[in-house]
Amino acid sequence: MQSSARFLKKFLDSPATVGSIIPSSRMLVSAMLSPVDWARAETIVELGAGTGVITRAIEGRRRSDSTFLAFESDPQMRAELGRRYPDALLEDDAFHMHAALERRGLENADCVISGLPFANFPRNQQAGLITAIHDALRPGGLFVAFQYTRQLQPYLDSTYGDIARRLVLFNVPPALVYICRKGE
């Protein structure tokens, strides 16, 4: 409950950067993470880690020898994530994902999991971030994002050839999960 109250406060303070009134449901987290081949994923990136609902699930699934970068722009949420998940490498700006990977000596990500509210970003930032995510993925890498609108779909359709969609009704609000694979 404490996480939900903190999330609601952050949403009320800055709805454009938080994007929802409560954290993701278990069903949404499951829909987001089930497509990932956790036995093979060496570098995992999470965008918009928030209060850590998806972060916690990633930590429970990833291999102990994998690298996990979590991006969260809110300094208080990022500090809390650092206390709760000391093995995660925390970064503040998803728009600088490529530089963060390079700085950490990583070439590409096996998967990028996003909880960012793309619909709240200007269109040029949406397109730029989709391109940056695609560029950061290794060939065959996976990008999974949830959204509350279909606004992101044209960018994904023009960037990825292999896209699956799942509607998760048991979430507030219901969410659409996009599962995108980068070509080999």
pLDDT interval class at 17 (50, 70, 90): very low
pTM score: 0.88
**What pLDDT is recorded for position 161?**
86
**What pLDDT is recorded for position 168?**
97
Average pLDDT, the chain: 90
Nearest 5°: the CA angle 162, 163, 167 is 160
The secondary element (H helix, E strand) that includes residue 126 is: helix 123-136
Q: How many CA atoms lie within 13 A of 130 on its CB side?
A: 24
Residues 136-142, mean pLDDT to the nearest whole number? 97
**What pLDDT is recorded for position 23?**
80
Contact 108, 11 (CB under 8 A): no
**Domains of the chain (ranges plus CATH)?**
25-181 (3.40.50.150)
**Residue 7 pLDDT more than 80?**
no
Query: Which residues are within 8 A (CB) of 84 and not within 5 positions of it... i.e. 6 or more apart?
Result: 52, 55, 56
- Sign of the C-alpha dihedral, residues 167, 169, 171, 174? positive
**What pLDDT is recorded for position 90?**
98
**Residue 3 pLDDT more than 70?**
no
Residues 63-89, mean pLDDT to the nearest whole number? 97
Amino acid at the residue 124: N
**What pLDDT is recorded for position 91?**
97
**Residue 118 pLDDT more than 80?**
yes
Nearest to 68 by CA among 101, 116, 32: 101
Compare 86 and 17 and report the one with higher pLDDT: 86
Under DSSP, is residue 55 helix (H, G, I), strand (E, B) or coil? helix
**Residue 4 pLDDT more than 90?**
no
